[in-house]
Structure 1
Amino acid sequence: MRRSLFVSILHDIQQVNEYFIQTRDATGALGLSGVQKMTAALWILQYGVPANAVDESIVATYEAVYLRSPNEADVARLLQKGEQREFLGMLGSLDCMHWRWDKCPSAQAGAYTGHYHKPTVVLEAVASYDLWIWHSFFGMPGSLNDITVLDRSPLFAELTRGRAPAANYTINNHAYTMGYYLADGIYPR
């Protein structure tokens, strides 16, 4: 979901439901933010889990990785740095990792358990040379491998529709118009 849509929905919800507005508790400590609360609500709706099954670390992680996409100036900077490192057209490095989900409901454990033999959720992220994480896709079941996560990724859905940051470069006399993401171990050698 685009950040602008997420923020718009959150704003509309906050107008009719005060629960989604961040408040302080009796001790004066800040409670969960509206972003964290809405993320938890979306998680519950998406996976059909009860409210008490949403692990607080998952909610915090969703907020931490919900970052902006690169604008034209960012894309130009990323392409320039890639060119300096002889990676023409590279926008960033993409990888997937598994995070253990200690409080996974037992009814869902099978779908979230893969080769790690413990329930995990997958984080797909694109990072630039300076470790700016500008894309993330979090929450896919740990039973999925990198290829199946990429198959469901909104980033790659946009690429398959021919929508990606413009990047004009030539490799082996072939002209390209879209940037790419360097990924390790995705394709056979």
Structure 2
Amino acid sequence: MRSELFESILNAVVHHDHYFARKIDVVGRQNLSHHQKLTSAFRMLANGYSADSTDEYCRLAESTTIENLKHFYKVIEAIYGATYLHKPNREDLKRLISKADKSGFPDMIRNLNCMNWEWKNYPTAWADQFKGYHNKPTIVLEVVASYYT
């Protein structure tokens, strides 16, 4: 992730929920930094790390990591939900279909998370290993993401 995007999300999250702001605890020490909290949430969501494995890198206990993740997804939904987490309307669909056709993914809207794509220049030795859709060598694309231009 680009550092500008990380910092932008970090600033939005910290300004929206004071849970992520750095505080002084009862003993007078500084609490966990917002960078630690956000990094642990991203590592769990993006890389599939377990809550206890973030202790090594981010220095968060498992229970703190789970609490942190719950705060994180609630804040993200509150901040970005209306913009990015809605069902596409007609204009969105037209734009996505047009962009998908230009990129060579005409069936993108029908199935956003997985699609079979015919593999034309495959190594001959691998032909039987990748036979699937319509008995032709294919590659399964598991994620197709759209972006705004």
TM range (shorter): 0.3 to 0.5
Indicate the structure with greater strand content. Answer: 1
Question: Under a length normalisation based on structure 2, what TM-score does the superposition of the two structures give?
Answer: 0.36
**Structure of higher CA gyration radius:** 2
TM-score under structure 1 length normalisation: 0.29
